[in-house]
Structure 1
């Protein structure tokens, strides 16, 4: 799979070729060369199409790199979370949950840590601000983080 630098180089080369083809088309050629002008117009069109496709490839590569980084970050934090009832929490001593509750649905579906917040209309419900999933507050309570007096 080509890297971003290779795609950028290809785009630059295509731009140069397009500029040359435009220059040749715009030169004062005789009427006998009308067919040449038509071919140059076709060349410019083909180069433009190729350039658009390469931009799409470049965007796809950027999206894949972003997704790979997200998945790597999720994989690294996989062992730092523990499930309790309907939420995930940071892991404390002895594997006990500590800190704020994270959305079960977002973590299992997208591997993203998203905190749950209390519903402003019903204090018995907690909501994920990202996906909108609602949880019973009794099954997603935050756990105190132990303080270390040695620090």
Structure 2
């Protein structure tokens, strides 16, 4: 249930509550019980909608936090010959480059590893050659 449905259900519950307030004393008990049951169902739907909205908002906030952290990490990199590296104190590249495939496909920053003069991504297994590695 989305937020708009939850709000519509809340509106319906308020209307039911107002109906109960203006009930005529001559109304029979069965009709009164039916209105109470309708109100209980509407309030239950509201509670569920608000709970789902809370979970959705929490998930969105976590995603925003993750994206901010990734953006910050990306701004702390330096590019050299088309590859991104960690930035040293001297603003020059340091260490192994990051895998371009992982960065472009999923936004992950995975350092390449050097296996017998072939640079390999430990995550996606992409192979690179003639890539510069800088000491720390």
Which of 49, 69, 81 is matched with 1:53 structurally? Answer: 49
Q: How far, CA to CA, are the matches of 2:108 and 2:120 in structure 1?
A: 17
Q: How far, CA to CA, are the matches of 2:33 and 2:111 in structure 1?
A: 62
Q: Which runs of 5+ in 2 are unaligned?
A: 1-9, 11-27
Counterpart of 1:148 in structure 2 is none
Q: How far, CA to CA, are the matches of 1:70 and 1:39 in structure 2?
A: 47
**How far did residue 83 of structure 1 move?**
3.1
Counterpart of 1:143 in structure 2 is 134
Matched length: 110
Counterpart of 2:120 in structure 1 is 126
Superposition CA RMSD, Å: 3.3
CA contact (8 A) 2:119 2:127 kept: yes
Could you list the structure 1 runs, at least 4 aligned residues long, displaced by more than 6 angstroms after superposition: none
Q: Which runs of 5+ in 1 are unaligned?
A: 1-13, 15-31, 146-151
SS in structure 1 at match of 2:135: coil
- Normalising by the residue count of structure 1, what TM-score does the alignment of the two structures yield? 0.54
- Normalising by the residue count of structure 2, what TM-score does the alignment of the two structures yield? 0.58
SS in structure 1 at match of 2:86: strand
Q: How far, CA to CA, are the matches of 1:102 and 1:90 in structure 2?
A: 9
